[in-house]
Amino acid sequence: MTDTTPGPKVLATKLCPWLRPALHQLDAARAQERLGHAWLVAGPAGVGKLNLALVLADRLLHAGRSDEPPELGPAEAAAAMRERHEPYDHHPDLHWLFPRRKDDDKEDKDPPKSKAKSKEPRTISVEQVRDAIEALALKSHGGRAKVVIVEPADGLTIAAANALLKTLEEPSDDTYLFLLSHQPRRLPATIRSRCQRLEVAAPPPEVLRDWLGAVEPQRFAALWHAAGAAPLLMAELLSDNDLNKTKDISETLNSISNDSTEVQAVAAAWAKPDSVELVLTSLTRLLHREIRSRLVPAGSTSITDPAAAVLHNAWTKLTLRQLFGQYERAERLLTQLGGGVNMELALHALLVGFQADRGRS
């Protein structure tokens, strides 16, 4: 990998400790010349799937590299999460497909000074896939492998997924495709059936505590729940000090559920470009946690968070079906960021769904 940007470089040369077993599995298959050409790497968002794919890509693109990669620290991981898409080309034989904005070329020449995250579409276009397929038809620049990383794979449009099928079925020589997904069921069955699958699970709490370092238990519990136990997201929250923002989101949702806050005002505040992604991401995690708490027996986790009980009580009147519906709506809005949707109106409609007593006498 090139040294042009610290994010992708560190993700390609260092590895989160809980990903070592998966890397060893892939390394062993590579050494025995039985590494499949198409892989679906599935796991929660923020668990390190991109880190694993880039480290393996680095090994494939530099034949013979099999040394143990140094450990990726939480501060480095948080920085890499913010910078991982700048710039876009890291190696002539690495083709990295991810959601692109129309003004990306302009931003490449004049990168924004602000660290605020802008709204982006969450889809990968058929044009991006076709460009990658054309590149794969050529001889590799380094005379070794050619690697395609699709992130997130569930962001492929229908046309893009269809365009990728033939390459998955009949890849060119020394071509490897890694499809990263935290929602693999959203992928067409035709895509899933053509890939070998590798599950990447979040590490247990004790591993995360060691990795994050000196974090007091109460703060660790809040991080765990705010990030859905996703290690890289926990590191990013800790680094950016966004934990207070997620706490404010929970408190506001509680007020909405109790009909003590004006929904329109909240929707207008949360729809702002520097807030909407964090809000929707936090909301999906909170809903996922509540759904899981109803489906999994009590006491199944050693991590407790007093704040969790507040929303649990606030959402008692919502049925499991309603919670699933709200989760799906929040996920859908995440995929539509930057796509022209009136986010204030969409958020208003979503938030009203938490008022279980609305319209009842």
- What 3 state SS string does 121-137 have? CCCECHHHHHHHHHHHC
For residue 350, give both structure tokens.
């979503």
**pLDDT of 337 higher than 80:** no
**Predicted local distance difference test score (pLDDT) of residue 118:** 42
Please report which confidence band the pLDDT of residue 319 belongs to, taking 50, 70 and 90 as the band edges: very high
Query: What mean pLDDT comes out for the span 124-151?
Result: 87
For residue 299, give both structure tokens.
């006491």
- Comparing C-alpha atoms, which of 88, 311, 14 is closest to residue 23? 14
**Predicted local distance difference test score (pLDDT) of residue 87:** 47
Are the C-beta atoms of residues 44 and 208 closer than 8 Å to each other? no
**pLDDT of 111 higher than 60:** no
Please report which confidence band the pLDDT of residue 49 belongs to, taking 50, 70 and 90 as the band edges: very high
**Predicted local distance difference test score (pLDDT) of residue 126:** 93
Output the average pLDDT for the chain: 81
Query: What mean pLDDT comes out for the span 187-215?
Result: 91
**Predicted local distance difference test score (pLDDT) of residue 110:** 44
Query: What mean pLDDT comes out for the span 113-142?
Result: 73
**pLDDT of 347 higher than 90:** yes
Query: What mean pLDDT comes out for the span 186-194?
Result: 92
Lowest mean pLDDT among 77-81, 202-206, 229-233, 338-342: 338-342
Q: CA-CA distance, 168 to 39, in Å (whole number)?
A: 9
**pLDDT of 265 higher than 90:** yes
HSE-CB for 87 with a 13 A CA cutoff = 15
**What does the DSSP assignment read for 64-96?**
T--PPPPBPPHHHHHHHHHHTTSSS-SSTTEEE
**pLDDT of 298 higher than 80:** no
**pLDDT of 303 higher than 60:** no
For residue 46, give both structure tokens.
């923020």
Q: CA-CA distance, 138 to 161, in Å (whole number)?
A: 21
Question: pLDDT: is 256 or 301 the higher one?
Answer: 256
**Predicted local distance difference test score (pLDDT) of residue 198:** 94
pLDDT in tens, 205-250: 889 989 998 888 878 887 877 777 789 888 888 876 666 677 788 8
- Comparing C-alpha atoms, which of 109, 145, 131, 133 is closest to residue 33? 145
Question: pLDDT: is 115 or 185 the higher one?
Answer: 185
Partners of residue 176 on adjacent β-strands: 147
**Dihedral, CA atoms, 267, 114, 99, 128, nearest 10 degrees?**
150
Length of the chain: 361
Q: DSSP code of 48?
A: S
pLDDT in tens, 140-184: 776 678 999 999 898 898 999 999 998 898 887 789 999 999 888
Q: CA-CA distance, 266 to 270, in Å (whole number)?
A: 6
Query: What mean pLDDT comes out for the span 247-258?
Result: 86
| Burial group, residue 294, by CB count within 10 angstroms (0-12, 13-18, 19+) | exposed
Give the residue range(s) of CATH 3.40.50.300 domains in the chain: 6-199
Ramachandran assignment for 194, one of left (phi > 0), alpha (psi -120 to 50 degrees), beta (any other) = alpha
CA distances from 138 to 22, 142, 170, 335 (A): 30, 12, 15, 33
**Predicted local distance difference test score (pLDDT) of residue 4:** 42
- Comparing C-alpha atoms, which of 302, 259, 41 is closest to residue 150? 41
Query: Which spans in the chain are helix H?
Result: 6-13, 20-31, 49-61, 74-83, 104-109, 126-136, 158-169, 189-192, 205-212, 217-226, 231-240, 243-257, 263-270, 276-295, 306-314, 320-335, 343-352
Partners of residue 94 on adjacent β-strands: 147
Partners of residue 197 on adjacent β-strands: 40
| 6-199 is a CATH 3.20.20.70 domain | no
| Burial group, residue 312, by CB count within 10 angstroms (0-12, 13-18, 19+) | middle
Question: pLDDT: is 89 or 308 the higher one?
Answer: 308
- The residue assigned the tokens 């938490």 is 354
**Predicted local distance difference test score (pLDDT) of residue 148:** 93
**Predicted local distance difference test score (pLDDT) of residue 115:** 40
CA distances from 45 to 34, 289, 321 (A): 28, 14, 23
**pLDDT of 114 higher than 50:** no
Are the C-beta atoms of residues 278 and 226 closer than 8 Å to each other? no
